[in-house]
Each structure stands twice: as C-alpha cells, then as structure tokens.
C-alpha cells in the first residue's frame, strides 16, 4: 500500500505507526507504548500460566523442544517493549479477568 513502509521498517519509520508487528519485528526495539494480544497459546488457569503449542500460529516457536519456555519468552519480550506503557488484551476471557484480582483492572 502506498505510504506504508515494509514490515522491516515499521518500528523505525514514522509511517509505520498504525501497523501491527510481531515478536520478529519488535525484538530489539523499544517504543513509547506497545500493545500485545495474548492468544490461546498462553492462558491463565487455576492460578498459573498454561501453554498449548497446538494453539500457536508461530511455526518457529512450535518447532522448538521447549515450547513453554519459548512462548513465555515471546510474550515477555513483547510486553516489555513499551517504555511508558503497554496495553494488553487476551482473546481468552479467564485470562482477561486475571489482573482484576491483582487490582490492575482487566486486560
């Protein structure tokens, strides 16, 4: 599309402000604010995080022998890119409700 930079430049080109990236376009960059969608591959259940490789769309992470560690690392990287803040959303209702018990609102 006209005016939209290639995905490799979304993080550094001002015209990339409204584009959606992933771990591979965000890693190594820091932003004023970030937004992260937590998918079905990592959900909050019974007081802990549960990961499920069958729910992941990331073929690189799914191929690894240690999916749990890799998917947690992926979300940690994404959630720490915002220097001033980060907005989170989960597609899973129970995961969205989890922060309420911490006094953080919902995600």
* Domain map (residue ranges) of the chain: 23-102
Where b means 16+ CB within 10 Å and e means fewer, 76-100 reads eebeebbeeebebebebeebbebee
Helix (H) or strand (E) segment spanning residue 53: none
Residues paired with 43 in a beta bridge: 50
Q: What is the value of pTM for the model shown?
A: 0.77
How big is the chain, counted in residues? 107
pLDDT tens digits in sequence order for the chain, 107 residues long: 677 887 777 777 788 777 777 777 677 778 888 889 999 999 999 999 999 999 999 888 888 889 999 999 999 988 888 899 888 899 999 998 887 777 665 55
């Amino acid at each position: 599309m006209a005016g939209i930079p290639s995905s490799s430049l979304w993080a550094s080109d001002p015209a990339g402000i409204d584009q959606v990236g992933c771990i591979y376009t965000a890693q190594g960059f820091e932003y004023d604010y970030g937004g992260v969608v937590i998918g079905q591959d990592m959900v909050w259940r019974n007081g802990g995080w549960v990961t499920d490789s069958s729910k992941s769309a990331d073929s690189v992470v799914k191929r690894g022998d240690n999916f749990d560690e890799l998917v947690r690392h992926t979300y940690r990287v994404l959630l720490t890119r915002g220097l001033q803040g980060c907005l989170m959303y989960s597609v899973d209702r129970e995961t969205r409700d989890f922060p309420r018990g911490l006094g953080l609102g919902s995600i």
